[in-house]
């Protein structure tokens, strides 16, 4: 037929389309990776901060409730001028603080 010409149109391949938009795809990929990493890091810090706060609070509670009260009870049994008794109470309190500190260290290891 005289009026109908066969026009062969070349469809661009998928790779040509990808090549055309590769910079946009690369930028989007990098942004997604950065946002994902940032989210993981901040979430990790929030969880760790909460765990560390719990460990510190438990140490403070241990020192306040156990060590200080034991010291007060011990010192109440001593006469004011009894240096040996006072010294014994202070060393007992020191061991108690060390014990509370080691408990905090174990708690931090679990974080």
Other CB atoms closer than 10 Å to residue 63's CB: what's the count?
Answer: 18
* Prediction pTM value: 0.52
pLDDT digits (tens, 9 = 90+) for 33-75: 888 888 777 776 677 788 889 999 999 999 999 999 998 999 8
Domain ranges of the chain: 14-110
Q: Work out the average pLDDT over 6-34.
A: 74
pLDDT digits (tens, 9 = 90+) for 98-107: 999 999 999 9
Query: Whose CA is closest to 93, among 54, 58, 66?
Result: 66
The burial of 100, by beta-carbon neighbours within 10 Å (0-12 exposed, 13-18 middle, 19 or more buried), is given as: buried
């Amino acid at each position: 037929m005289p009026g109908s010409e066969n026009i062969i149109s070349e469809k661009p391949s998928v790779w040509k389309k990808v090549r055309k938009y590769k910079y946009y795809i690369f930028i989007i990929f990098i942004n997604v990776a950065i946002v994902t990493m940032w989210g993981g890091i901040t979430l990790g810090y929030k969880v760790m901060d909460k765990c560390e706060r719990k460990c510190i609070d438990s140490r403070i509670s241990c020192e306040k409730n156990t060590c200080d009260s034991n010291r007060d009870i011990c010192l109440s049994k001593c006469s004011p001028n009894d240096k040996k008794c006072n010294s014994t109470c202070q060393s007992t309190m020191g061991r108690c603080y060390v014990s509370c500190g080691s408990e905090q260290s174990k708690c931090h290891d679990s974080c």
